[in-house]
Amino acid sequence: SIHTTLFEDRVFGHEDWKRYRSASWRHRVEPVVFLRVAAGFVWQLVLVLVVSVCVGLLHTFVPSFDAWLEGLHLSTPFTMVTFALSLLLVFRTNSSYSRWWEGRIIWGQVVNFGRNYTRQALMWFPPERPDLRAAAVRWAAAAPRILLAHIREGASPLGEARGVLTEAELSWLAGWSNAPLGAGTALGQLVAAAGLAPQLQAELQKQVELYTNMAGGCERIFKTPIPPAYTRHTSRYLMLYVVTAPLLLWSSTGWATPVVAVVIAFLLLGVENIGVQVEEPFHVLPLYDICRALEANIRELEHSFAPPPSAPPPP
Amino acid sequence: SIHTTLFEDRVFGHEDWKRYRSASWRHRVEPVVFLRVAAGFVWQLVLVLVVSVCVGLLHTFVPSFDAWLEGLHLSTPFTMVTFALSLLLVFRTNSSYSRWWEGRIIWGQVVNFGRNYTRQALMWFPPERPDLRAAAVRWAAAAPRILLAHIREGASPLGEARGVLTEAELSWLAGWSNAPLGAGTALGQLVAAAGLAPQLQAELQKQVELYTNMAGGCERIFKTPIPPAYTRHTSRYLMLYVVTAPLLLWSSTGWATPVVAVVIAFLLLGVENIGVQVEEPFHVLPLYDICRALEANIRELEHSFAPPPSAPPPP
Amino acid sequence: SIHTTLFEDRVFGHEDWKRYRSASWRHRVEPVVFLRVAAGFVWQLVLVLVVSVCVGLLHTFVPSFDAWLEGLHLSTPFTMVTFALSLLLVFRTNSSYSRWWEGRIIWGQVVNFGRNYTRQALMWFPPERPDLRAAAVRWAAAAPRILLAHIREGASPLGEARGVLTEAELSWLAGWSNAPLGAGTALGQLVAAAGLAPQLQAELQKQVELYTNMAGGCERIFKTPIPPAYTRHTSRYLMLYVVTAPLLLWSSTGWATPVVAVVIAFLLLGVENIGVQVEEPFHVLPLYDICRALEANIRELEHSFAPPPSAPPPP
Amino acid sequence: SIHTTLFEDRVFGHEDWKRYRSASWRHRVEPVVFLRVAAGFVWQLVLVLVVSVCVGLLHTFVPSFDAWLEGLHLSTPFTMVTFALSLLLVFRTNSSYSRWWEGRIIWGQVVNFGRNYTRQALMWFPPERPDLRAAAVRWAAAAPRILLAHIREGASPLGEARGVLTEAELSWLAGWSNAPLGAGTALGQLVAAAGLAPQLQAELQKQVELYTNMAGGCERIFKTPIPPAYTRHTSRYLMLYVVTAPLLLWSSTGWATPVVAVVIAFLLLGVENIGVQVEEPFHVLPLYDICRALEANIRELEHSFAPPPSAPPPP
Amino acid sequence: SIHTTLFEDRVFGHEDWKRYRSASWRHRVEPVVFLRVAAGFVWQLVLVLVVSVCVGLLHTFVPSFDAWLEGLHLSTPFTMVTFALSLLLVFRTNSSYSRWWEGRIIWGQVVNFGRNYTRQALMWFPPERPDLRAAAVRWAAAAPRILLAHIREGASPLGEARGVLTEAELSWLAGWSNAPLGAGTALGQLVAAAGLAPQLQAELQKQVELYTNMAGGCERIFKTPIPPAYTRHTSRYLMLYVVTAPLLLWSSTGWATPVVAVVIAFLLLGVENIGVQVEEPFHVLPLYDICRALEANIRELEHSFAPPPSAPPPP
């Protein structure tokens, strides 16, 4: 959808950062992007515009309205309301951002899991069990994709894991309704089957536990939004604020009010809207890019895995 | 009660998020919900309304009151008070939300405990002890429900655990006055009885420790509110602020004051009220849904537990 | 003292939460509580009252003062000062609350320590050493009380531990000037004496380490207040603000100034005062209740400790 | 580039702190630094200046503009916008600083990794394998540099590791496209080759895991900026605010407006600009200094490593 | 220096807290302390005073200046600037306090290290190696002092460790340029020499790792200030604000301006100055007191170390 496209994060590189840090880029007006962002709450903006124009027309053609509005010093109630609205917007922004960043941290841990599990499995699994070694690599590459499918709409665990797991493994996985639970079981059973010293097995099982916990973390953020009572209270008062603002603005800015009111509404509704979009982080974070990069790492570990020249393999 | 219904959180899915992210939904006025929220502090709103009308009547019929109010430039004291009130509302909102989210994180850990304990028990408990394996699964499914009953009103540990534990286990559990303590003991004893390598036993006992710590975390949040001195100071000054606001507003908004004063009071009292409702998170979090989903996971682990095709069971 | 009584936290139950969530209770004016809170800074309030009355008298009887005050538009300097005062009050409130909550978290960990240490000791200590098992239970129950006495005025470690430890243990403990250090040593030595597998001993020693770290955490918070330079800067400017406020308020509120000034002073000094009271959390947290509840848990563990029906004791 | 030079952090010592704490130094105006900072957004400042002058000229020569501007009471819309802009600037500042400090913490952990890995390898690796001991020291010194090259532009892993690793190791490392992955593998394989007790091997492997996780942490911060929607919304409204400010200021400050408007713009754009510069912390943190200091530590450990006089080496 | 004396924190006891919680003490004006704090930025205050007087003289004797100043409505630009200044002051205060508190937490961990290392060494080191036991106690007592000397000006590691370590150990330590690195090595080697079970050795080595990490934490905070770009931006705009404030204040407060301007400047510069003073926490935290108290704990552990009556030493 347009919103997903607009808010989906990209993976940054050096060139992106350079452009981003250049003030000319940041402060540039981009009308197309502007319009696409506004598309998310175009009806709200139109409503503000219509109210502004109505206030203007009433003011011009209905002298009694003019007198009534003059008698109403609206700056007092607006001032009394501003601080509470400000607090609600700050709360919305900070909470959404924390959730988004926590989502990103969880996926950073998924990457760490993939690398550590693969490295330790290749290091400790006995060389005489190449089947187990290959299976560990396959499941380490598939597990993040299975988790992705678990929390992202339109993706299926089997679809994502196809091409990574074998057919037999795919049909085994199909037997699980909660696919990450199955992936965790497979990762754990492979380690249990490798016959490691209990201490080393425990270390590898901790990686499996990490994967399970990260799946739990994703579900926690996905299933529990910020208490909706806050969100509704914020959205409605914000709407009331921007819709009644033309009444206050008219005596100050006259026929510039329609423009001024829409600019103010776009600022405030925009802040709130970005907050709501990033509140569920998994539909905006670049999870596919993260999975692809991790899979490349795991493949590289598999193919390049060899002791460095200075460390002959232990006897 | 009406409040619990109103504030109880639901588990979100993809469809909920889509509706939630749509600006038209968020900014929609819902009079019924509005009225039900207002029901929580309807007397306060009525009081503000009555004060507003009284100020209007006095203003209209008692000229001396009018003169006295005109002489009183109330905007100065209101301005001096606003920043402190703002700080108290921010503090209330942030602290309550942190407690609510910490409660949710604790229950996320309970879910992690249930999955990890079950997986590791099924993986490591010797196959020749099917009794122990089945008991571990039963207790892993019962422990979260027992914790739920421990912190939620109207639920009893035995009632929640019935149907999960055997009759013998239920009567054993009935011997404990602090039921989560009993559940922790059972979970730990099962592991001790399985004759695992000390390293692996220690790993599983860490899961039991996690369960005990999460029970402690629930009790900590439940038994200790935000220092009541803050809550009272905030509530009373807020009340004073909204009740005296009509005196300030009258000279600005005249007979629109009753409406304006109630709208402002609803905004401010609403923010405070949501904060107080979510301060004790366990009566609003969807704990029954969480327990049900976890039990389904544990059942799935029990029934689907088998090594993946690529890992023959260790000899 | 009156302050301790006023600010000491209580342990909350379901009924407390219900009353607390009821808006009518929260917003109720309680004159007795009001007066007792005010007792903490009654001289400051009296000073504000006296200054207000003096300003009124000067204004009424000394025309030149009136002219001078009129010429002084004090709203400008007050506005310039407000944002800094606001930041200092926010800082004071947030920092004090964080310290208070960290203190509560530390005592939550002490509870976790007591439960885990007891459960693991009863589970792992050999049955043929009932003396060690009983001693572990005694020390687990005594250690939190000893820590309480270490950081709370008017309590002595020996007094708190009497009735829990044996006479011999009490006189052994009397040999320590830092009693929690002695308790940690006893807890550790008991574990070392039990002849456990190193892995299991290490797990139990981690509980002892947790106890030692929590004692360190209590000392850290107790011994180090928020940098006093901040506290003094805040308190003095706040005092200056509320004492000079009548000069600003007079031209706005006339003879209502004494009341208005005292109400404002009570709001601001009240926020600061609560912050200072909870900054040292251990004299307001309900530590005795926590210790009592933990001791009951430990006794229950001791008496009800038996494998659940499904887990016959390991051979 | 000029920006990197300007914002790159230096390592502080006692003398730096003394100068820094001296108020005369802090409050000193440094025109050269001032100009260099302004260079980052000079066009924005010029634009503000031009707009100010245009407003002045229009005001002076076009009476109708003057009347129009007088009729436009712009303070109302500016007040309504200020709180939202304030929130966006606070959000930008806090989020950027958190990312920067998290980046610094990650590199603090890299330093800890280097010291602990080296100390433990020298302590536990068998004396009869001097080749392994020397290789562990080499890789511990090279790994941070390889990570530095991975996230900093213009540095190559091989270039940074040259002179630390042997030629054979360099060509082995050249086989990896993700060099920190290779370094982690080498560090882990060396430990696996040393034939340690599983418990001690597990401890050392935890250090390798820490290195892998810190590499993941660097990538997480580097690849994921603050949601660009926030950054753009902030930058554009800030630009709109400072560019239209002269319209508001003119009626207050007349021909002082060009100076006043540029001073205000420099303040606001400066805050935003510093935030954007430190958002990607790795190009401003003194990573080369950190790596150099760590390498010196590792060399010192290698050369001075001997048991203290009181601890004869274990037999 | 005067600053260090003024800002150095003291260790608090019950009596200090009582005085501190008494409102009369907090709100008391202490002219001597006032003057000593002001000494830190006396030139800035003098400058504000001089500017105030100059504005007054110009106003009185130069009518054209008076007219020009009247025409300049400075409240508009001051209002536009206040929110950004406010944000910068809040940022400075919070970041400095966080660093200070993190420094305190690090030293709390150093205390925990000292107690745990000593207790575990005395518990696990074999009784037949009294030399190792005594050396472990000596190094545990010396290590915190060596770290103190590493980050505090004017203290040398050898000077601090003299009287704790033996002459042989001191000369061994003199061979290290980074003394905490040497202390960590000694602490680790003693454990390695004690011939413990690997599991127990690993636990003790974790304490050594903690010491190394805390040394790294101290260096991190010490070597990296808050990005100086923020500090300079804040300091300079704050200076500009307080120096130009008399121009704004004159029309409001007339010849009271010099006093009012200096009072405001002292408030704002004071907040900023305290923030800068506590930003490098190690020169204000009472580290010598902490080390002394820890050494007393370690000595007490050494002398009182004996199993409690109920736990005969393990055979």
Q: Mean pLDDT over all residues of chain B?
A: 90
Residue C5 reports pLDDT greater than 70:
no
Burial class (CB in 10 A: 0-12, 13-18, 19+), E149: buried
pLDDT tens, residue by residue, E178-203: 999 999 999 999 999 999 999 999 99
Query: Residue A311 pLDDT > 70, yes or no?
Result: no
What pLDDT is attached to residue C25?
A: 76
Contact B77 C260 (CB under 8 A): yes
Q: Does C5 touch chain E (CB under 8 A)?
A: no
Distance from the Cα of A74 to chain B's closest Cα (Å) equals 7
Q: Under DSSP, is residue B184 helix (H, G, I), strand (E, B) or coil?
A: helix
Of the pLDDT bands very low, low, confident and very high (cuts 50, 70, 90), residue C4 is low
| Contact with chain C for residue B73, Cβ under 8 A | yes
Listed residue (C73, B134, C159) closest to E253, CA to CA = C73
Tell me if chain E has a CB within 8 Å of the CB of C202.
yes
Whether the per-residue pLDDT at B283 is higher than 80: the answer is yes
- Asked if D40's CB is within 8 angstroms of A27's CB, the reply is no
- Span C216-259, pLDDT tens digits: 999 999 999 999 889 889 998 999 999 999 999 988 888 899 99
* Among the ranges given (C200-209, D115-124, D275-284), the one the predictor scored with the smallest mean pLDDT: D275-284
Looking at chain E, which subunits does it touch, using at least 3 CB pairs closer than 8 Å as the criterion? C, D
* D166 part of contact set with chain A, CB < 8 Å: yes
Q: pLDDT band at residue E314, thresholds of 50, 70 and 90?
A: very low
Do C253 and B76 make contact, defined as CB atoms within 8 angstroms?
Answer: yes
* pLDDT, mean of residues D207-222: 97
In the predicted structure, residue A2 carries a pLDDT above the cut 80: no
- Please identify among residues 218-247 of chain B the ones whose CB lies closer than 8 Å to any CB of chain C: 219-220, 222-233, 235-240
Strand partners of residue B165: B162
Q: What is the pLDDT of residues A272-305, one digit of tens each?
A: 999 998 999 999 999 999 999 999 999 999 998 8
**Cβ distance A202 to A104 under 8 Å?**
no
Confidence (pLDDT) at B4 = 52
Task: Looking at mean pLDDT, say which of B205-219, C2-16, D42-56, D268-282 comes out highest.
Answer: B205-219
- Contact list in E for residue C240 (CB cut-off 8 A) is 263
Cβ contact, residue pair E199, C202, below 8 Å: yes
Q: What is the pLDDT of residue C1?
A: 47
pLDDT value of residue D1: 47
Kindly state the percentage of chain E with pLDDT values over 70.
Answer: 93
Displacement of CA B252 from its chain's centroid (Å) = 41
Q: What confidence tier does B1 reach under pLDDT thresholds 50, 70, 90?
A: very low
The chain-wide mean pLDDT, for chain E, equals 90
Closest CB to D311: pick one of E43, E132, E240. E132
Q: Give the residue from A86, A252, A248, A24 showing the smallest Cα distance to D247.
A: A252
CA D40 to each of CA D274, E226, E232: distance values in angstroms, whole numbers, following the listed order: 10, 20, 16
Quick count: other Cβ atoms within 10 Å of Cβ E98? 16
Hey, what are D139's tokens? 């890789």
Least confident of A36-45, D51-60, D190-199, E293-302: A36-45
More reliable by pLDDT, A246 or B38: A246
Closest among E45, E113, E96 to E284, alpha carbons compared? E96
| ipTM here | 0.94
Q: pLDDT: is A67 or C106 the higher one?
A: C106
From E279, which residue of chain C is nearest by alpha-carbon distance?
A: C227
> What is the C-alpha separation between E18 and E169, in angstroms, rounded?
45
Residues 133 through 152 of chain C touching chain B, CB cutoff 8 Å: none
Contacts of C297 in chain B (CB under 8 A): 178, 181
Which H or E run includes E226?
Answer: none
When mean pLDDT is compared across C93-102, C263-272, D24-33, D69-78, the lowest value belongs to: D24-33
The predicted structure's pLDDT at residue C304? 86
Confidence of residue E308 (pLDDT cuts 50, 70, 90): confident
**A165-213 pLDDT, tens per residue?**
999 999 999 999 999 999 999 999 999 999 999 999 999 999 999 999 9
The pLDDT value given to residue D41:
85
Measured CA to CA in angstroms, residue D284 lies from A190, B111, D1, D275, E106 at distances of 44, 41, 12, 12, 25
Give the residue from A17, A19, A16, A37 showing the smallest Cα distance to A28. Answer: A19
In this predicted structure, the answer to whether residue A122 has a pLDDT above a threshold of 60 is yes
Res D290 pLDDT > 70: yes
Q: Would you state the pLDDT for residue B5? A: 56
Does any CB of chain A come closer than 8 Å to the CB of residue D185? yes
What is the pLDDT, as a whole number, of residue D4? 52
Report percent pLDDT > 70 for chain B: 93
* Cα–Cα dist D208/D191, whole Å: 9
Q: Tell me whether residues B90 and C90 touch, CB distance under 8 A.
A: yes
Q: Residues of D with CB below 8 A from E168's CB?
A: 309-310
Rounded Cα–Cα distance for residues A100 and A256 (Å): 38
C74 contacts E253 by C-beta, under 8 angstroms = yes
d(CA E264, CA E271): 11
| Cβ contacts of D40 on chain E, cutoff 8 Å | none
At C203 the pLDDT is 95
**Tokens encoding C258:** 């004494």
How far does CA A237 lie from the centroid of its chain?
26
Q: Is the pLDDT of residue B2 over 70?
A: no
Contact residues, chain C, for B206 at CB < 8 Å? 203
Q: Give whole-number Cα distances, C292 to C8, C119, C141, C142, C145, in Å.
A: 16, 18, 9, 11, 9
B155 to chain A, minimum CA–CA distance in Å?
A: 23
Which of E115, E264, E274, E278 is the best residue to mutate to test the C interface, defined by the most C CB atoms within 10 Å of its own CB? E115
E61 in D contact zone (CB under 8 Å) = no
Q: Which of C77, C240, C273 sits opposite E249 (nearest CB)?
A: C77
* Residue C312 pLDDT exceeds 70: no
The pLDDT of residue B206 is above 80: yes
How many whole angstroms separate alpha carbon D287 and alpha carbon D276? 19
End-to-end CA distance of chain C: 57
How many CB atoms are located within 10 Å of the residue B199 CB? 22
pLDDT of residue C75: 86
Of E232, D132, A275, whose CA–CA distance to B21 is shortest?
A275
Mean pLDDT, chain C, integer: 90
- How many angstroms away from the CA of B312 is the closest CA of chain A? 7
Q: What is the pLDDT of residue C72?
A: 77
Residue closest to A112 by CA, chosen among A120, A102, A123: A120
The pLDDT of residue E22:
82
Asked if D248 and D69 count as a contact pair (C-beta separation under 8 A), the reply is no
Q: Which residues of chain C neighbour E278 with C-beta distances below 8 Å?
A: 227, 229
| Interval E35-65: pLDDT, tens | 767 777 888 999 999 999 999 999 888 888 8
Q: Average pLDDT, stretch E95-116?
A: 97
Each residue's pLDDT tens digit, B7-63: 677 888 898 888 888 877 777 767 666 676 777 788 899 999 999 999 999 988 888
Helices E42-61 and E257-279, interaxial angle, to 10°? 160
Instruction: Give the start-to-end residue ranges of the domains of chain D.
Output: 1-72+226-279, 96-225
Report the alpha-carbon distance of residue E54 to residue E56 in Å, rounded. Answer: 5
CA closest to C230 among chain E residues: E274
Residues of C in contact with B228 (CB under 8 A): 9, 20
Closest approach of chain D CAs to the CA of A9, in angstroms? 7
Which of D3, D15, D27, D94 has the highest number of chain E CBs within 10 A, making it the mutation to test binding with E? D27
Gap from C93 CA to chain E (nearest CA, Å): 12
In whole angstroms, give the CA distance from residue B74 to residue C263.
14
Residue of C137 and E6 predicted with greater confidence: C137
The answer on pLDDT for C120 being more than 90 is yes
In angstroms, rounded to a whole number, what is the distance separating the alpha carbons of residues E241 and C252?
28
**Exposure on the CB side of residue E236, measured as CA atoms within 13 A:** 19
